[in-house]
A and B are shown apart, each in its own frame.
Chain A
Amino acid sequence: MDFLRPTTLDEALAAKAERPGAVPIAGGTDVMVELNFDHRRPEALLDLTGVGELAEWSRSSGSDGEIRLGAGVPYTRVITELGGRLPGLAMASRTVGSPQIRNRGTVGGNLGSASPAGDTHPVLLVTGARVEVASVRGTRLIPATEFYTGVKRNALAPDELVTAVHLPEATGPQQFAKVGTRNAMVIAVCSFALALDPDRAAARAAIGSAAPTPRRAVAAERFLAEELPWGTPGPLRDSLKRRFGELVAEATEPIDDVRGTAAYRRHALAVLARRTLTWAWNDQQERSPSCA
């Protein structure tokens, strides 16, 4: 097995074009597990940790700021440096693995693996993130909603690398919740993300680990857009929350596995949906001037 160590993005893209079979390795927290379990035997590893451009984030200058988060920025930095601007992504990042895993693991790696249980995916779906991918042929931006194409499959072409993720700065409350079989170091049994967009009177909801791919709960989103009493102060009706939970559960397509049953996942997602909606709505009430 060859070990390729590019030091610039151009070198990395050239290497990937020349050897599409080379497996990129960023934090290695998925790749090394696969190698240890002999799940795959790549002809080469393409080490991206020497490519400085991938390990940076920046903010665009426009008024509705957008964060360009380099594919190789580890979770620990997302949490400490971007907690205010990207609250949903930071919440999800905090639940990943353990401190060691968060020091190594990256959003780019999460996208590369595209596991239905990856914790950042529901957040990327609800924040309207776009995945920046590049090859020697050029760069394109793929909306997160089009990125996940199957169980552990994504929209990358064989010669492409994930270079960054573009996320709008939060304009409203964001929530992420996850159920695991223990309190840390655990793959999600199911996970859920919610983002409220008060400016557009809209909401986005997405589920993880309960379908072949991470996916949005579109009917549940439409329901919120129609029913959320944006102008009215006060808590939400229980019936509204319950219906939202039901619609989220209906969006799932879960399986039974060692971590949990399909029935449990459906049930728990309805609970997570109701809870996160309650939290997000309370948050919204505190922010909105009408509440004062």
Chain B
Amino acid sequence: MTRLVGRGVPRVDGRAKVTGAARYAADNEIAGVLHGFLVMSTIARGEVREIDPSAALAHPGVVAVYTHADMRTLTVPGFPYNRTFIPMQDTRVHYSGQPVAYVVAETLEQAQEAANLVRVRYRAEPPVARLADAPDEPFLPEGFRADQPTETVRGDAATALEQAEVRLERTYGSPMQHHNPIEPHTTTAVWDGETVTLHESTQGVVFTRNVVSAVFGLPPADVRVVSQYLGGGFGAKGPVYPHTLLTVEVARLARRPVKLVLSRAQMYTSNGHRSEFRNHVRLGATRRGTLTAVIGTSTAQVTRTDERTFNTNDSAVNLYACPNIHVRQLGVRLDLPTSGYMRSPETTAHFGLETAMDELSYEIGIDPVQLRMRNLRPTDPQNGRHTASRHLPACYRMAANAFGWKWRNPLPGTTRDGDEYIGWGMATETHSHNAIRSTVALTIGLDGRATLRTATQDIGTGTYTVLTQVAADELGMPLGQVTTLLGDTAFPDASLSAGSSTVPSVVGPVADAAQGARDRVIALATTDPRSPLHGVPAEDVDTEGGRLFARGDRHRSDSYRDVLTRHGRPVETRSHVENTRGHSFGAVFVEVRVQPRLGTVRVSRVAAAYDLGRVLNHRTARGQVIGGVTWGIGFALMEHTAVDPNTARVVNPNLSTYLVPVSADTPSVDVAFVDQPDSGSNALGARGFGETPGTGVPAAIGNAIYHATGRRIRDVPFTQDKLL
């Protein structure tokens, strides 16, 4: 019966995107809108003493300059609001780049210029900006999510490590990084009496609605959030951030709609980041390479106002079979903005584990793939599912074959091509995925066309396409007969587009709603004397190409359109089916070419294979791999938010100095999928996948650099000066 699911169907929204017809959040022309611009603190710690808006107010077009003195007391909501305070509620400054005033003017340029003219005087205290500057202060924060504890103990890791035949102890590090979606954050708040509509660039319209309703004490039904398309989110638009709340309040104060678009520079302090991270890893193993102890102690930047850490050490706990595990995730309070989730947050700690595994393989003298195969987990002790992959061995095999791993020269530093040293490295790829209760509504109109409505969103990953494929298949309609509408809280509540949760959360309800609608239409036909299918048992009716057929007698047929027209009313169904959390897996193999005298590294080949359950769309899944591998290359070789240690300011808040990979840095990726349905997932056997590819890439690149040069670098990015 499957015709579309599984195929690499092109994007249903592709044309709208390339022609500019797709409406992004800031693409609105609302009558009477005011443009907002934030004035950000220039100190990282201290107090606002005085704000003088007079020059700004005198600037043409400026309508108002709001400060903490103008704001109502707002309720600080819980997760997914990631901070324990809302800026502009008092005079305290917690980080450089914190909003201290909000200018509204008739044009964006006027607002921006006036923001420059607002004079703010501070009482400044010296900030601390780097983990290295607060060496004595790590503490074990309380986990803020029950499913992400900050400490995990299994067995007796300390004793096991002491008794281990082989011991390895290393520290790995990564700097602060920023998401940099190309579309900046934007909010347009439009009040109508006591209800408010937000045109928002968000990975979760429902989350945003819930937070706004909590902060402003509004019933959820009085808050509407619309976010039809996103130009990327990567976690930067998952939680709700202060600029959104301030815009809602300012629009209320101004009694006019207000549109805010963050500048690129402001995006380096407004919406979280991957925090600076150190990971102290100790492994114990037998001479044959069986892990007997895994001890991981990570330290991440937190702030003085809250202690949330976002980069869980998931793979140390869940990936390999090891009876003795002790994982702790410490925090150090610094005068920086609160961090947050950034695409594949588990990469941060996984980089340490997968590098340590590589180091162990050389220490013991076995192939790095063999070492991993020796430590595969049979089943998961907690839920018996997802965390263990029956197909991980197939991933290693498929990717290794595609790469040519069997030709590997095991001796590091001995393969050359002219001036260049060539190295091969590999790592396991894995990430958890979430599953969030989701409801969808499906309507088949009198014209026989189906419309799917659900308040999840497409952040660029292909959600419109995949959901349309699923609904069309279940209904037996061509792709073009189904329209999917997303990103609007006017639709039934559905999953956040984060934590790789969209497919596992929403596909089940879509399939179920479509099956329900199809069954209703079949029942209408078979009970209607005017239908050629009248009297055919419902279970003997097939649907295909928008038509209904009697099985075995294809001349007896009807169409959705005709059935609905005769019925005279649309058919509507609604469904929610809850899925469970899980993990997806893969293996990635990388070749690098190193110029040892210049320290330059080029990734020349990548082969990867994945088990994500059933692959619903090979093209969009492959897109996630290309994106993930590219992120991995950036993580490994260049991404780095530089913070000035004296002022705690970000010194490279733009894309000309915060480098991300360009085409010339990214080879084409050889991608394979196991493509076996996971019987435990009710999303047609598919699991969440978006964040799995790339998780192993930083380690694989570092491992390949070691293989090329014999030099082990344990701090990303692997820049040229480190490699000399």
* Bound Cα distance A38, B651 (Å): 16
Contact of B598 among A38, A182, A271 (CB under 8 A): A271
Check A260 against B720 for contact (C-beta < 8 Å): yes
CA distance A184 to B602 in the complex (A): 12
When A179-B598, A182-B638, A258-B657 are in contact, do A264 and B724 touch as well, CB less than 8 Å? yes
Interface residues of A in 224-254 (CB under 8 A from B): none
Evaluate whether A186 and B659 lie within 8 angstroms (CB atoms) in the complex, with A258-B651, A258-B652 already known.
Answer: yes
Q: CA of A263 to CA of B724 in the docked complex: distance in angstroms? A: 11
Given contacts A179-B598, A258-B652, contact A185 B662 (CB under 8 A): yes
B720 engages A182 (CB within 8 Å):
no
The chain B residue with its CB closest to the CB of A187 is B656
Q: Tell me the complex Cα distance, A186–B663, Å.
A: 12
**Would you call B662 and A183 a contact (CB within 8 A)?**
yes
A182 and B662 form a contact (CB under 8 A): yes
**Chain A, 97-135, contact with B by CB distance < 8 Å: what is the 0/1 string?**
010000000000000000000000000000000000000
Give Cα A268–Cα B662 distance, bound, in whole angstroms: 23
**A33 on the B face (CB < 8 A):** yes
Bound state CA distance, A184 and B652, in angstroms?
Answer: 19
Rounded to whole angstroms, the CA-CA distance of A267 and B663 in the bound complex is 28
Contact across chains for A181 and B719 when beta carbons are under 8 A apart: yes
Q: A90 in the interface, Cβ–Cβ < 8 Å? A: no
Chain B residues whose C-beta falls within 8 Å of the C-beta of A271 in the assembled complex: 597-598
Give min CB distance, B658 to chain A, whole Å.
9
> How many Å lie between the Cα of A189 and that of B116 in the bound state?
32
Asked whether B664 lies within 8 Å of A182 as measured between CB atoms, the reply is yes
B-chain residues with CB within 8 Å of residue A263 when the two chains form the complex:
721
Mask: chain A, 261-278; 1 = CB below 8 Å from B; 0 = not:
101100110011001000
Q: Is the CB of B598 within 8 A of A184?
A: no
Name which residue of chain B comes closest to A38, CB basis: B116
Chain A's closest residue to B663 (CB) is: A184
**What is the chain B residue whose CB lies nearest that of A261?**
B721
B662 touches A258 (CB 8 A): no
B600 within 8 A of A: yes
Chain A residues within 8 Å of B656, by CB: 33, 187
Closest chain-B Cβ to A273's Cβ sits at a distance in Å of 11
Nearest CB of chain A from residue B74's CB, rounded to whole Å = 32
Chain A residues near B662 (CB-CB < 8 A): 98, 182-185
- Chain B residues contacting A183 (CB-CB under 8 Å) are 602, 662, 664-665
The residue in chain B whose Cβ has the minimal distance to the Cβ of A271 is: B597
CB-based nearest A residue for B600: A179
- A179:B661 contact, CB within 8 angstroms: no
- Asked if residues A264 and B637 are in contact (CB atoms below 8 Å), the reply is no
Determine whether B404 belongs to the interface, using a CB cutoff of 8 Å to chain A: no
CB distance from A275 to the nearest CB of B (A): 8
Is B721 a contact of A260 with CB atoms below 8 Å? yes
Q: Considering the chains assembled together, what is the distance between the CA atoms of A267 and B602 in angstroms?
A: 20
Q: How far is the CB of B723 from chain A (nearest CB, A)?
A: 10
Query: Interface readout for B684-724 with A: 1 if CB under 8 Å, 0 if not?
Result: 00000000000000000000000000000000000111001
Q: Is B9 part of the contact surface with A, judged by Cβ < 8 Å? A: no
A contact residues around B719 at 8 Å (CB): 181, 260
| A267-B659 contact in complex given A179-B600, A182-B638, A184-B664, C-beta closer than 8 Å | no
Query: Is the CB–CB distance between A181 and B721 below 8 Å?
Result: no
Q: Collect the chain A residues with CB atoms within 8 Å of residue B599's CB.
A: 264, 268
**Interface of chain B residues 625 through 680 with chain A (CB within 8 A):** 637-638, 642, 651-652, 654, 656-657, 659, 661-665
Interface size class of B (residues with CB under 8 A): 20 to 34
Distance in angstroms from B389 CB to nearest chain A CB is: 34
Chain A min CB distance to B415 (Å): 21
CB within 8 Å of B: which of A134-190?
179, 181-187, 189
Which chain B residue has the least Cβ–Cβ distance from A267? B724
- Bound complex: CA A252 to CA B602 (Å): 27
Query: A179 CA to B599 CA in the complex, in Å?
Result: 10
Write out the residue numbers on chain A whose beta carbons fall within 8 Å of the beta carbon of B642.
258
B residues 507-560 with Cβ under 8 Å of A? none
Q: How far is the CA of A272 from the CA of B663 in the complex (A)?
A: 24
Distance from B258 Cβ to chain A, minimum over Cβ atoms (Å): 23
Neighbouring B residues of A267 by C-beta, 8 Å: 724
Measured between beta carbons, the chain B residues less than 8 angstroms from A37 are: 654
Contact with B along A56-98 (1 / 0, CB 8 A): 0000000000000000000000000000000000000000001
Q: Which residue of A lies closest to B595 (CB)?
A: A271
A181 contacts B659, C-beta separation under 8 Å: yes
Residues of B within 8 A of A275 (CB): 419
Closest to A180 in B: B600
CB-nearest residue of chain A to B666: A183
Give Cα distance in the complex from A98 to B661, angstroms. Answer: 13
CB <8 Å contact, B657 and A189 = no
Interface string of B106-127 (1 = CB under 8 A from A): 0000000000100000000000
Within 561-610 of B, Cβ neighbours of A (below 8 Å) are at 597-600, 602
Q: Which residues of B contact A179 (CB under 8 A)?
A: 598, 600, 720
How far, in angstroms, from A187 to B657 measured CA to CA in the complex? 9
Give the chain A neighbours of B661 by CB distance below 8 A. 182
Question: Contact: A182 with B659, CB < 8 Å?
Answer: yes
Q: Is the CB of B721 within 8 A of A264?
A: yes
* Set of chain A residues within 8 Å of B602, measured between Cβ atoms: 183
B715 to chain A, nearest CB (A): 15
Bound: A215/B139 CA distance, A: 52
The CA of A181 and the CA of B656, in the complex, are separated in Å by 11
Q: How far is the CA of A183 from the CA of B637 in the complex (A)?
A: 11
How far is B723's CA from A271's CA once the two chains are assembled, in angstroms? 14
Given the complex, which residues of A lie within 8 Å of B419, measured CB to CB? 275
A236 to B663, CA, bound (A): 37
Contacts of A98 in B (CB 8 A): 662
Complex contacts, B657 vs chain A, CB 8 Å = 258
The answer to whether B638 touches A181 (Cβ under 8 A) is: yes
* A264 / chain B contacts, CB cutoff of 8 Å: 599, 720-721, 724
Task: Note all chain B residues with C-beta closer than 8 A to A261.
Answer: 721
> How long is the Cα–Cα vector from A268 to B664 in the complex, in angstroms?
21
**Whole-angstrom CA separation of A271 from B720 in the bound complex:** 13
Chain B residues, Cβ within 8 Å of A184: 662-665
Of A33, A185, A189, most B-chain CB atoms within 10 Å: A185
User: Provided the pairs A182-B637, A183-B602 are in contact, do residues A268 and B663 lie with their beta carbons within 8 angstroms?
Assistant: no
Q: How far is the CA of A144 from the CA of B168 in the complex (A)?
A: 58
The contact of B665 among A33, A182, A189, by CB within 8 Å, is A182
The docked-state distance in angstroms from the alpha carbon of A184 to that of B660 is 11
Q: CB-defined interface of A25-66 with B at 8 Å, one 1/0 digit per residue?
A: 000000001000110000000000000000000000000000
Considering only CB atoms, which chain A residue lies closest to B116 in the complex?
A38
In the bound complex, how far is the Cα of B265 from the Cα of A37, in angstroms?
Answer: 10
Chain A residues near B654 (CB, 8 Å)?
A: 37
Shortest beta-carbon distance from A135 to chain B in Å: 33
CA distance A271 to B595 in the complex (A): 11
Query: In the complex, A183 Cα to B656 Cα: how many Å?
Result: 14
Bound CA span A110–B116, Å:
30
State the CA gap A243–B600 with chains docked (Å). 23
Give 8 pairs: A residue, B residue, CB < 8 Å, sorted on A.
A179-B720, A181-B638, A182-B665, A184-B662, A184-B665, A258-B652, A260-B719, A275-B419
Beyond contacts A179-B600, A184-B664: 11 other A-B pairs, Cβ-Cβ < 8 A, are A33-B656, A179-B598, A183-B602, A184-B663, A184-B665, A185-B662, A189-B720, A258-B642, A258-B657, A260-B719, A275-B419
List of 10 A-B pairs having minimum Cβ-Cβ separation, nearest first: A183-B664, A184-B664, A264-B721, A271-B597, A185-B662, A183-B665, A184-B662, A182-B665, A261-B721, A258-B657
